[in-house]
Amino acid sequence: MVVMARGSYIWFVACLFLVSFFVPRANGEVLQQCKRPLFGITFTHYRVDTRAQCANGRDSARVLAEGAIIPNYDKVDVRQEVQRDLAQIKRGGFNMVRTVLWFTQDKIIAPWGQLHAPLNAADAQRILEFGRDVRSAGFEKWLIVTNPGIRNNPACRIKVWGDCYEPSREAANFDFIRAVHELLAPLGTGKFRIEYDLSGELCPSQWLTPLANANIKTYVTDLIRWYSTEVSKTDFHISCGGLASDRTALLLSIFDGAGVKPNEIDIHLYDTDPNVIAKKVLPAAPMARQRHIPLVIGEMQYENPAEVSAIRALAARYGICFSEIIEWPLRGQSMCQINVQPPFSSQLLQSIVPP
């Protein structure tokens, strides 16, 4: 007899439970029953050094400093280059764009893309002009991620996660988000939708400190209650990286406790091992199904054959439908964060579902 380790046994039992939510089909049959997802790309930088080697966050900031879109969008040559990229990205098969707005009240030392809070008039105009160009390029959706940084971030770290967050900055974060929403609301009409990830990957986790988890719970509860009451009830969620069965479940418990419903479940995958990917996708799928909301892959490696193959196999076997699948411009596990130069193509990504 083979004796299973405790963790393996728990995972085995969990898999049996999760499989009960799905009816396996032959490859292809279930996928044809799913509505074709939106294919997206995160587009925050128009230029990166694809040959750079990064050993830490400082190296990454240096690589990203030159090519941030929003801080440079008032420059004619930058805007023209980005407009060309958007047109080629659309021709490459993507029908949505995802843009991260990093912001902070702290001094911006390395200009790799962070914006100042409160939102100033110059940054607001640059965001608006970029949004107009995204819309004009013919995309169906623009997903805005508003990410507080440094001491505006509940999980910010000097020595341990959560130790440098300043709770008094909560109101400033909300003001920044409201300003962006009001700025872009006139664009989100007709066939062009704008939605928001209110704080990308700000999820509790067993791997974070109790301090960080407490900060996150308080902040996210306040954020989603405020946003759903004063801004919108239908166009927002918060994404989760890491182990979906841990972080996504803990995040959804915050939403449930606050009496607020997210507009989708958004998980991030950078793994290429099919078993690891299954541990993240399979728990998330029934969570979305139970709440009658879409399941989204909000970040994954750019055009990675192993990752695409694993996702395709899981979707076919368990009848999982993704409403959106969004790539991040990264190949491999580089500390440079972004190492793929635009424009982008979704040729491999689109093989997840039949045409």
Indicate which CATH number applies to the domain containing 54.
3.20.20
CA angle at residue 136 from 303 to 113, to 5 degrees?
A: 60
Gap between the Cα atoms of 189 and 135, Å rounded: 10
Asked, for residue 289, whether it belongs to a domain, the answer is no
Reported pTM: 0.90
Q: What is the pLDDT of residue 72?
A: 96
Residue 45 within any structural domain of the chain: yes
CA distance from start to end of the chain: 47
Specify if 68 maps to a domain.
Answer: yes
* Number of structural domains found in the chain: 1
Residue 84: CA count within 13 A, CB half-sphere: 8
Q: How do residues 148-169 score in pLDDT, each as one tens digit?
A: 999 999 999 999 999 999 999 9
> What is the predicted pLDDT for the residue at 45?
97
Beta bridge partners of 99: 144
pLDDT tens, 288-317? Answer: 999 999 999 999 999 999 999 999 999 999
Answer yes or no: is 3 within a domain: no
To the nearest whole percent, how much of the chain has pLDDT over 90? 79
Q: Which of 286, 295, 297, 348 is nearest to 34 (CA)?
A: 295
Instruction: For residue 33, name the pLDDT band (cuts at 50, 70, 90).
Output: confident
Q: How confident is the model at residue 354 (pLDDT cuts 50, 70, 90)?
A: low
Euclidean distance between CA atoms 137 and 84, whole angstroms: 9
Whether pLDDT at 193 is above 60? yes
Share the mean pLDDT of the chain: 90
Query: Would you say residue 2 lies in a domain?
Result: no
Q: 177 in a domain, yes or no?
A: yes
Return d(Cα 314, Cα 259) in angstroms, integer: 31
Q: Do the Cβ atoms of 307 and 324 come closer than 8 Å?
A: no
In a domain, 20, yes or no: no
Smallest CA-to-CA distance from 285 within 275, 274, 294, 298 is with: 294
Residue 159: domain span: 40-266
Structure tokens at 59: 């190296």
Residue 89 has pLDDT above 60, yes or no: yes
At 38, which helix (H) or strand (E)?
Answer: strand 38-42
Is residue 302 a part of any domain in this protein?
no
Confirm if 178 and 231 have CB atoms less than 8 A apart: yes
Tokens of 23: 């009816």
